[in-house]
Structures are given as structure tokens and as C-alpha cells.
Chains A and B, each alone.
Chain A
Amino acid sequence: MAPTHRAPASDARPDTAGPAKAATATRAGRRPALGHPLLRHGLWALAALAAVALLTAATGPVTDLRVADVGLHLLAVAGLQLLVGTSGQVSLGHGAFMFVGAYTMALLVVNLPAVPLAAGMAAACAAGCLAGLAVGAATARLHGPYLAGATLMLAVGLPAVALRFPDLLGGANGLAFTAIGAPPALSGLVDDTQWRALVVWTVALIGLVVLATATRGRLGRHLRALRDDPTAAALSGIPVGRARVTAFVISAGAGSLAGACQAYVLGTATPSTYALTLSLVLLAALVLGGLGSLWGAFWAALAIVYVEVAGTELAHALELDTDVRNNLPVVFFGAVLIIIVLAWPRGVHGALSALGRHRSTPSQTGDS
């Protein structure tokens, strides 16, 4: 009794039951792996790094800074993607982990200038993972809005630690420092900003390779399973609580590494940078970019950096009253968010891949 009906090849039924259900099935199973996953992802990463190198070589310091900004936000959002898109835990407090990373980096540079950069990054990542472990363990039993509320408070509450210990963490002024720039050997080839952009992208791509490998493999499968149906996941042998915490730890590690990159590039770590807005923007951008795929994180990072720029430039280009001009970038960002979410409920990546499928097969969109 072979099934008489062929499943429609395209979309899932619209289903609103679980969080992040709109995430597409990843291609994990689709075609036989092209060699070792690490090799495959590594090659991608090298190609991306080369592209960044070319881009920064061709442009000036302002673009370099933005490229670095895109890189570190890519890492942060990719970490959030694992947590929200893959494991279905909505966190409104990802900025708190960036805070941890930034301050770890800043403290090391300020107090132990002899520690090499790579060690600083590793320390930041470890600190983030620890923070993620603590937060994940404290919130493992929470779901939906309760998790969202708790993480929201985390985003607001954690930066206050800096105010509590002004002598160590610099209080409201935070810490300022200058981190090492391009090595002297390369001084003719790359300038400091360019070098920093390359360092950020190297770190980000290493992080992405790990995230991609984890998402595509058994861990990702487990996280998606518990996102879709925690009870069935548990009965299939997945330790739900531990898997949730693992997702938090990895995601926090990535966020923290991104924070460390930010501190390294800008030479500052200040509580007001890690205010609630940052966390909200990260999550909003993630949804805008598209849940469930690392490409979504890429579009998200681009949006975080360039929608802002576009809004500011728009404000400058138009002859406007001061109050209107000042507030235009905020309104612009909000409007872009609304329009994209309404027009492409599955984000930029979802829209693009639907377009790709549309090209190759006749239209088969789901109906409600």
C-alpha cells in the first residue's frame, strides 16, 4: 500500500504550535556530505576570510570598521540563532553575554597587558560559556514568555554589575584602552583598523564553523527535536534539560566572543553599550534575517549595521526640522523591521530561498 498521494514538495503546513516552527527543515539530510564537515565548513570560512581581506583592502577605515562590526554581530546573532532558531528558546538577553565577553577582554588588556590576544579571546569565550551555564541552568525549566521575561531582566540587570564595582569595572564610564594593532611586519600592508577587521572575522568564522557543525549534526538535531516537541524528544532519549543548557552555553560563548571582538575593535567596554536595546536589536535582526539558518544570521548582521547607516544618511540627505531629523533613524529602523516581518514572515533568508525554489519549481506556496 504505497501512499496514493505524493506530498506537496514545498512548504510545510503553516503551524503555529511551537516556537520558531517557521524554521525550515535544514538541508542536513538532503545530500550526502561532501567530505568531512569540518573540511567543508573550513573551506567556506577561508573563502569568506579572503573576501573580507579583499574588501577591506579596497576600502577605507570607516568601511573597515563597519565590516568588523558586521563580523562580530554575525557571530553574536549566529549564537542566538542556535538558541532561538534551533532550540526554540527565546532569549531577550543575548546582549548580557556580549557584556561578559567585552568586560573579560577589557579587564585582561587593562590589567594584564602581556596576555596575548588569542588567549584573551579564549578567556572571553570561556567566561561567556560559564555565564551561559549559570543562566541556562537557572532558566532550564522556563518556557515561552517566562524565559523571555527572565532573560530580559538579565539584559537589564547584568550591566549593573559594572556600576556595583566601579573600581574594578569603571562604573558608568566603563573601561577604555588601546589594544594591539597590526603586527609591525605587516605595517605597510594593512592598517590597524583593517587588521582588527580581519581579526574579528577570523574569530567570527571559527565560531561560525563550530556553530555550523553543531547545528548540522546530532546536537542540532536534538535541539530542533526538543524545540518541536519536548515530550517526544525526551522519550526519544534526548536529555531535554541538559540539551537546553548546552544550547545556552554555546550561544553564550558565541555572544561573549562577539563582545570581546567589539571591545577589541573599539577599545571600550561600557555598561550603556550593553543596554536592553542591544539585546532586542539582536533578536529583531535575527527574525528579520530568518530563523533557522546561519544565512539568516548573516542578513541580520548586515541589517544591524547598515539599516542604521542608511537611516542616518537619509536623515542627513533630507532637509528636515531638527526633531524630525534626530528621530528619523529610529523610525526608519522600526519601519524596516515591520515591513520585512510583514512582507517576509520567514525573514530575508526565507524569502530568498523561497524565491530560489520558485525559480526551479512552479509555485507551491502553502495555504492557510
Chain B
Amino acid sequence: MATQTTPSRLKVAEVEAVTIRFVGDSGDGMQLTGAEFTRASALAGNDVATFPDFPAEIRAPAGSLAGVSGFQVNVGAKDVHTPGDTPDVLVAMNPAALKTNLADLKPGGLLLVNTGAFTPGNLEKAGYAANPLEDPSLRSKYRLIGVDMNGLTDAALAGSGLSAKEVARCKNYFALGLLQWLYSRPADQEAESIRRKFAKKPELAAANLKVFEAGYSYGETSEIFFERYAIPATKLAPGTYRTVTGNHAAALGFAAVAKTSGKQVFFGGYPITPSTEIVQELSKWKEHGVVTFQAEDEIAGIGSAIGAAYAGALAVTATSGPGLALKVEMMGLAVIAELPIVIVDVQRGGPSTGMPTKTEQADLLMALFGRHGEAPMPVLAAQSPADCFWGAIEAMRIAVKWMTPVLLLTDGYLANGSEPFRIPDASELPKIEPRYATAPNRDGKYMPYLRDEKLVRPWAIPGTPGLEHRVGGLEKDSLTGMVSYDGANHELMVRTRAQKIRNVIEDVPDVAIDGPEQGDVLLVSWGGTYGSVRTAAERLRAEGKAVSHVHLRWLNPLPKNLGAILRRFPKVLVPEVNDGQLAFYLRGMFPGVDPVSHTRINGKPLRVSELVEKVHQIL
């Protein structure tokens, strides 16, 4: 789809990519503005990656520093893996937003400011002694463009009969209009979208549209810009696309499992930031074979899921750190009972309540080792917002095939970040076919722990005559499933459970090396840092450095070929948003391998520039 646009007096410059950050007060609708610009860019055929960054869950006072809400989008003509480190364009709707974000703007970057909001009151709330816009150094550092969006919005809506408050809430569309114009987006599409969004309130639809058009034509008519930009469409794989956030994608994945398997997907859980959207989406899809249950707490949430799994459902729970902590005992039961269930952990800043709205990767070792007794389970991690769809399906496939709980790790950045998602055809999805036992498996008796050659036990569900049996948390006889306190049996069962999880390796693809098979530095990442690390590797190779990248989707079991690859590189660098957990894990798993650990724990995705620098240091 070409970027049709209105004829313009200005020349249009082609750019490869741009990173724009919209910042304003929580009340200013920056999330909407960012999402709309993203949508338009995607529809224009660009690749996009976004990073919304909103304040703590509770609304802070209007105009305060704590109340600033931001949305960053990276739009490109080539594959876009990250929302971008530092914005090329900063759109600041008030002083607090300017103060908290200016430092990130690229030197010489475009600084678009809503001057109308720079009132003494707002300046004070932001802790500005004087109006920073009047500070000449600002103009020297950046391409400052001040626009009184408040005033122009008022003007546009004069006589509309809307209240001052309603009018004020329209100004984000002015900013959007201006940006859409600047990046040569067709105006008409936005009109459609506005009508859809405000279908119930036509008067607001009209108002917002008016303001959007005002912003759009302001760019054209006012003399403030001397060129516009266009970003050529990306060569994405052919297909139908939509944008998804990680949480939305995970929910779609589980629902897809229900649709393709024809089996009930049962979700039992308890709301917790940043995982809640998963259940919120799933609850809408009752007609698609999904049953959701909001329990009284996380323990009951996973308990209900394990119960449903015993009853034959494809069971899921989703949570974040504090909730995962509460599910630990239950996970142990699922391990010993060998029942299939998927636990999604959307990691957030910890420890304890920590930083609920910030991202982190610090639950890895807990996911791997955080259960009492020997309780191994498969652990995998999604690598991008859209990949949460595939991660959800794969986790469920493994759980059912191997009769085991499976942990799927995502994080706050993936959960709220978005990117284009190519809608797959049913045939592209792996088959999930639970084989419920229907008959006794040993001389007319049903032996719940009589395993197949892969060490998987059968799944007999209530309602099946003759297969009545009991499962539970006490050690079980390796065949009959009766309670057993025999030491030898316990040892056999512990080792068998461990071996079964090791056997999952048959479903773990070898990792692919991005870059030369051999080189100076190997970057190893897992989970949500994929984009930053992949981009860093590409940049470094573009600089001519022999740098390769391996990204781990599977944390347990680790891919067969990983050890050999690690040993092939003189230097291995493991960048993480934690205190070095994967680096420690790799050391423990591959004697002799001693990676350099690079860690950042500031609640934000890793910066590409930082990684590039780090590699320069160790090269």
C-alpha cells in the first residue's frame, strides 16, 4: 500500500527510519496518539515497534513530573526490532513532559513543544524556575519548534459548544495531525478511525476530526516546516497484518489453541500488572471455547487450572513476579502429578512489589530453580510482542505432549510493546492433540504412571469408565501411582521426572547463529532483549566487526548445539535486564564457558548504543 498523500508545497524527503516519542500528562492521551501514529505507519506499510511508558498505576496530580506518560514508536523501511534508543523527534505536551524526557532526545533532534501548556503554574509543577523554551541553549542543541496547540485547538473548536474540559482533551489530535502531515500520512484514514473510535459520541468525533485536520493543515500552511518526510514501505513477508501487543498476542495464541484443537482452554488466574490484559482478552472469547475464572488469589488461580487439567482441559494461568511467588507450591504439585498446564510469567521490576509498570528479566533463575525439592519443568521465553502468540502455542503444545507444567516468560516491555503481526493460516499452527486414555494399560488395570518410551505418563480424565485413579503430591509408586514411601522408588521417580524433562530436547530446535559461525564476540540473549541485541549485532557487523548473535527461546532444556557454539567464540557477551542470571546459568551448565555479563536494571529495554559500546570495549 503506497503512502498516498495530499499535494504539498513542500518537498518530501525520504528517510529510512524515525523514532518519535510522544510525551505529556497522563490526561493528555499520549498513549492514544502514539497508537494512532503507529497504526497509520503500519497501514502505510512500514515496520514499527513501540514502547509505551506510563507512570505508576495511580494517577498523579495533573502536570506533575510523576504524571508524565510517554509513548515511543520506531518506524522504519527496514526490519525494525526495537522501539529505538533515543528519539529523533520529541513531542512534549507540557513542561513536566519536557523536563523528564529532554535528556533522551538526540542532539539536533526535532523538539516539538506545545507552548500553550507552558504556563507559570505548569512550569512550577515541573520544577522549572524559568521557562526553558526561552533558554537559548535549547535552540542551539535541538530543532525547537513551538506550537500553541492549546490555543489552536481552542480556535478550531470555537463555538463547538463543547466544555473547556472536552476541548482540552482534543489537543492530542492536533499533535497527531501535525505529525501525520509531517510524515506524509494520508489524512482520510485517520478520519475513518476517529469516527470508529467515537461512534457513540458523534459530537466528539466531529471535534477531534476538526482538530486533527487543523493540525494537519497547520503543518502545510504555517511556515514552520521546510520539508516533509516519507518512509518507504518495508518489504514484510506477504500476508495480512495487524499490530499486537505481547499480552494481546499471548491471549490470541491460547484462544487459537482452543480453536484448532477443539478442546476447552481453561484460564484460572488473578489480575496483576503487567499480565492482566491476557485474561481480560480471553474473557471476551467465551464463544471460542475459552473458559476464564478470576479466582480469589493466584494460588486458587493456578489450583483451578490444575483441577481443570486433571479434568482434561488445556489449562493456563498468567501472572507476574509476586503472583509467581504464590504459585510456587502449586507448580510443584503439577510437576509431581505430571499434569499439563502453562504458567505465563510477565516479568516486572522486582524484588517484592518493586516497579510494577517497569520491565525486567530477573525471574529467570526463579523460573528454573524456584521450587522446593527436585521439580524441573520446561521454560521458554518469547522474544517480541508478536512472538508471544507463538510462545503461548508452543508452551501449550509441550505441556500436553509431555504431561508437564511449562513456564513461559515474557516481560513488561513485550506485554505492552507492539509490532506488526502476520496473521497465520490455521495450517501454520502446530497441532495440539491430547490423547486421553480410553482403556486400561496393564492387564486390565489402569496404571497412571506406566510411561511410554519418552517417559510420558497417560492422561485419563474423569468420565472415563474403568480408569478411575487418584493423583496427588505425595511421592507415588512408579507404576500404580499409589502413595509410596520407599526410598528406591522415590529416587527412581525423581530421576525419571528429570529425564523426562531432558527428553523434551527433541522438541528444542538448534539455535541459529545470526552472523558468522565463528568470530570475535558472540552475543547471547534471551526473551525481550532480542530486538536490541539483534540490532546491535547488525550494527557491529555493519562496522565490520566479527560479531554474532544467538538468541535463546528455550531456557530449559537448552538447545543441543549451544555449548559447542559458546566454545567457538573467544568472547561471549550476555546482556540482560537483571543482575546476570543467564550468565550464571550458562556457567553452571557449560563448564569452562565464562561469559562476560552486561547488566542494566533500570526498568527499561536495553539500548542498542549501549550494547555496541560494550562490545567495542571488550573487543
Partners in one complex: no
